[in-house]
Amino acid sequence: MASNDLVTFLVEETLKLQETGNESISGLEAKIQDYQLHYLKGYFIPQTQMLRFDGPFGCIDIPTNWSLFSIENSMVDFSLISSQKDRDMFFSVIQKAWNIPIKSLVVTHENGFCFMIGLKSGDEVHLRDLLNSEEWLKAG
């Protein structure tokens, strides 16, 4: 991560995307689609300090001060949450809104976007490839 905290990083990446005016599918997004996993792609809205995700259930705005996105978690490349590890009931909220039988949720980022990847039972086998681009390149 280029910056000291997630919010600063997202602001910088959002501004870069707005300046260039183009958005392409990232390596992570290509992997997610290749494995046919359910995911939500979110972007940062600087004016409201929110992450906005568009999903099949509609639009959901998540404040960046929710503990998952807090400063102490800002240097973490990803978070894996489930019903057993759900400090703020975030997993429960997303699971109910999404209405798919996910067992865990990976929250990560790439190219200025935040990704929430819903893992069903058995999808955990893809976790290493999803979070390690070097592994993906070796497998190809």
Query: Distance (Å, rounded) from C-alpha 84 to C-alpha 65?
Result: 21
pLDDT score, position 109? 84
Name, in order, each residue with C-beta under 8 angstroms of 112's C-beta and a sequence gap of 6 or more.
9, 10, 12, 13, 14, 16, 17, 43, 44
Per-residue model confidence as pLDDT tens digits over 108-131: 888 888 899 999 988 888 888 887
CATH class of 6-139: alpha beta
Nearest to 107, CA basis, from 47, 58, 138, 62: 62
Residue 117 forms beta bridges with which residues? 39, 106
CA distances to 44, 83, 110 from 2, rounded to whole Å, are 16, 31, 11
Confidence of residue 21 (pLDDT cuts 50, 70, 90): low
pLDDT score, position 63? 85
Look up the pTM and report it.
Answer: 0.74
pLDDT score, position 23? 54
Mean pLDDT in residue range 69-98: 78
* DSSP structure class, residue 124: G
What percent of the chain is modeled with pLDDT above 90? 14
Domain map (residue ranges) of the chain = 6-139
The tokens for 53 are 């995700």
Per-residue model confidence as pLDDT tens digits over 43-79: 888 888 888 998 888 888 888 877 777 655 555 678 8
